[in-house]
Amino acid sequence: MIIRNKEHWFRMLFVWHGSVLPRLVPRLILLFLLSVLVVYLHGTIFSFKVPLNPAPLTLFGFVLALFLGFRNSASYERFWEGRKLWGSLLNYARSLTRQALTLGERSAPVMDFVQLLSAFTYALKHQLRGTDPLPDLQTRLNEQQFAVIAAAKYKPVVLTKLMAEWVQQQRRENRIDTIQQARFDENFDKLEEIVGGCERIQSTPIPYSYRVLLHRTVYIYCFLLPFGLVDSLGWFTPFIVAFVAYTFVAFEAIADEIEEPFGTDANDLPLNNMCAMIEHTIYELAGAPYDAAQKSNRHIID
């Protein structure tokens, strides 16, 4: 995800990295050239004058803008729900680490639990992105745990089971009582709710038929626009068409990008950074040294 400081209004006019414009340039050039051809032919196709004027296109454009607004709202709601789920993950990770450190009456191997919790965040990230989690997990789990997780399909859920087994072991050794064990279990339930919420977003995209309808409508409108403007704007038509097309097509492209918030596009959630922050804060709570460079080769898009 692109994370920038607030920039001067003039510099933002020329921002390239993180904008959807690079993906749209070929389409906008095509529409510009089509508009030039329409102006050159005075809006005729094989001697047939296309009888369009700006009035119906203006009305249709207003309705299309409303639909694009609803489409972007739905996509941003998915993006923001994903962000809230990962924010909750940070909170529950801190709570679980604090409980592991303070609820026991005698010292416990807390770092074993912290490493399991750290592995959970990375396993969830890789599951949502469909990437290989084994390099990240191998540095955070012992050989026995790694063997169990490597064979599992839903690795974050299995890691919650390993964390619960750690708590159960502390209960058997009388480091915590049943009430304290129940408090751990409540937070484990919250972790599984976060996994389920992320899986819901990932596995339930916006209905495909709705996306296709809006996509076709946007491009049909953009291809008809030069015929409606040629008589009133003349050679200004290609520039106005390119600008209007950029607005509509960019809205659609942004909606497509953020509706799947767990990917690796420039405007998706910065899961690498979130995992690093969660790991750093729980290591700090545990009083253990944290070396991000040795843990993994994570990065932040900037």
- Give per-residue pLDDT as tens, 241-256: 999 999 899 888 888 8
Tally of structural domains, the chain: 1
pLDDT for the residue 1: 56
In a domain, 2, yes or no: no
User: 193 pLDDT exceeds 70?
Assistant: yes
SS3 of 48, please? Answer: strand
In a domain, 12, yes or no: no
pLDDT for the residue 5: 59
Dig out the tokens for 129 from the structure.
């992105």
User: 95 pLDDT exceeds 70?
Assistant: yes
Query: pTM here?
Result: 0.84
In a domain, 35, yes or no: no
88: containing domain = 80-206+259-288
pLDDT tier for residue 300 given thresholds of 50, 70 and 90: very low
Q: In terms of pLDDT, which residue wins out, 2 or 77?
A: 77
pLDDT tier for residue 141 given thresholds of 50, 70 and 90: very high
pLDDT tier for residue 275 given thresholds of 50, 70 and 90: very high
User: 295 pLDDT exceeds 70?
Assistant: no
pLDDT for the residue 228: 87
pLDDT for the residue 48: 77
pLDDT tier for residue 231 given thresholds of 50, 70 and 90: confident
* CA nearest neighbour of 265 among 275, 256, 278: 256
In a domain, 13, yes or no: no
pLDDT for the residue 301: 34
In a domain, 299, yes or no: no
Contacts 24+ apart (CB under 8 A), 202-208: 202/128, 202/260, 202/262, 205/259, 205/260, 206/71, 206/74, 206/75, 206/78, 206/259
pLDDT-wise least confident of 16-30, 72-86, 227-241: 16-30
Q: What is the mean pLDDT of the chain?
A: 86
Q: What integer is the mean pLDDT of 198-204?
A: 92
* CA nearest neighbour of 133 among 115, 114, 152: 152
First to last CA, the chain: 7
User: 24 pLDDT exceeds 60?
Assistant: yes
d(Cα 127, Cα 191) in Å, to the nearest integer?
Answer: 15
> What are the tens digits of pLDDT across the range 108-120?
688 899 999 999 9
In a domain, 47, yes or no: no
Q: What integer is the mean pLDDT of 191-207?
A: 93
Q: In terms of pLDDT, which residue wins out, 132 or 50?
A: 132
Handedness of CA 228, 229, 231, 234 (dihedral sign): negative
pLDDT for the residue 9: 60
Distance of CA 233 to the CA centre of its chain: 41
pLDDT for the residue 154: 94
Rounded to 10 deg, the angle between the 110-129 and 54-102 helix axes is 160
Contacts 24+ apart (CB under 8 A), 4-12: 4/302
User: 8 pLDDT exceeds 70?
Assistant: no
In a domain, 191, yes or no: yes
pLDDT for the residue 232: 85
pLDDT for the residue 254: 87
Tokens 């296709």, residue?
A: 212
Distances (CA, A) of 120 to 51, 142, 205: 62, 14, 24
User: 297 pLDDT exceeds 50?
Assistant: no
In a domain, 239, yes or no: no
User: 2 pLDDT exceeds 60?
Assistant: no
